Amino acid sequence: MLIILSSPKGGSGTSVVAASLAIASSSSTPTLLVDLAGDQAAIMGLPEPPVGLSDWVNGMTHHDFDEILITCNENLQLAPSGSSAIEILSTNAWNKLARAVTKKEADGCNIVIDFGQANLPLAFDKLIHTHYMVTRPCYLSLRRAVNLDQRFSAVIVVQEHDRVLTTSDVESVMKLKCAAEVPYSSDISRRVDSGLLKSRLPLLLHAALSPLVSPGVSP
C-alpha cells in the first residue's frame, strides 16, 4: 500500500496527518514514512538527521537507502528529507527514489509519503498509489486547490471549530469524497510539541485514520 499526502496550501496539517497515518499503520504493518516536506523528524521527536533522501538520491552519501532510515518504533521507519530542497531534484533523482520506495513496498511495507505542497513528479504519478489532498475547510486553500493540475483520490479534512465552510462544501468544491475527518485539538498539538505523537497517538486520530490503512479500503 502506497499513500501520498499533499496540500494546496502550507499550514493545512499535512505533515501531522501523514505522521499520524504512518503511526496508525505501524500498529499492524511495517511502515515507512517518507518525508519530502522536511518536518517529520521534529514531529516524531527525533534529532535532525545528518543525511537524508536528498543527499542519497544526489549521491552525496555512501550509505545505502536502508542505512539512511531512522527507527521511530518497532514497526515504523522514517526516511528523512535531507539537507537540500526536494523541489530541485532531477528526473533521475526522482526515478531513483521511486525505485527504492517501490522495493520497500514489495518487501511488505506500507508506504506513507508526506509531499507537503509539492506536485507529484512523473516517477511517482506512474506508481500505483492513493493520493489524498489534506485541507482545512478554508476558502483560500480550496481556491488554490481547484486550480491545481493534480489528480487526487479523495480528501482528508482537518476540522476546525468556527469555520463557515463544512466538509460537504469541501467535497462539493473539489468533486471528491472525504476519506477522513481529522479533529483539530489542543491534545494533538501538545503531543506534537512534546515529541510524544509516535508513542501516544490520540485515540481520535487513530480512529479517524486507521481505516485508511486497513486491508480492502479504497478511497
Q: How far apart are CA 179 and CA 175, in angstroms?
A: 13
Instruction: Tell which residue, 169, 73, 68, has the closest CA to residue 155.
Output: 169
Residue 170 has pLDDT above 60, yes or no: yes
Q: Enter the pTM of the model.
A: 0.92
Q: How far apart are CA 133 and CA 127, in angstroms?
A: 17
Q: At 199, is the pLDDT very low, low, confident or very high (cuts 50, 70, 90)?
A: confident
Q: Which residue has the higher pLDDT, 168 or 186?
A: 168
Count of CB atoms situated within 10 Å of the CB of 43: 25
* Amino acid at the residue 204: L
Q: At 217, is the pLDDT very low, low, confident or very high (cuts 50, 70, 90)?
A: low
Instruction: Say what the pLDDT of residue 148 is.
Output: 85
pLDDT in tens, 9-25: 888 889 999 999 999 99
Residue 218 has pLDDT above 70, yes or no: no
Instruction: Say what the pLDDT of residue 12 is.
Output: 84
**Domain range summary for the chain, segments of one domain joined by +:** 2-212
- The structural architecture, per CATH, of the domain 2-212 is 3-Layer(aba) Sandwich (3.40)
The predicted model gives 136-147 an average pLDDT of 90
Pairing between β-strand 76-79 and β-strand 110-116 as defined by DSSP bridges? unpaired
211 with 180: CB under 8 angstroms?
Answer: yes
The predicted model gives 177-189 an average pLDDT of 89
Instruction: Say what the pLDDT of residue 10 is.
Output: 83
* Amino acid at the residue 27: S
Q: At 67, is the pLDDT very low, low, confident or very high (cuts 50, 70, 90)?
A: very high
The answer for residues whose C-beta is within 8 angstroms of residue 177's C-beta and 6 or more apart is: 154, 155, 171, 219
- Roughly how many angstroms between the first and final C-alpha of the chain, as a whole number? 13
The predicted model gives 42-61 an average pLDDT of 90
Instruction: Say what the pLDDT of residue 153 is.
Output: 95
- SS3 assignment, position 102: helix
pLDDT in tens, 75-131: 999 999 988 777 778 899 999 999 999 999 999 999 999 998 877 888 998 998 999
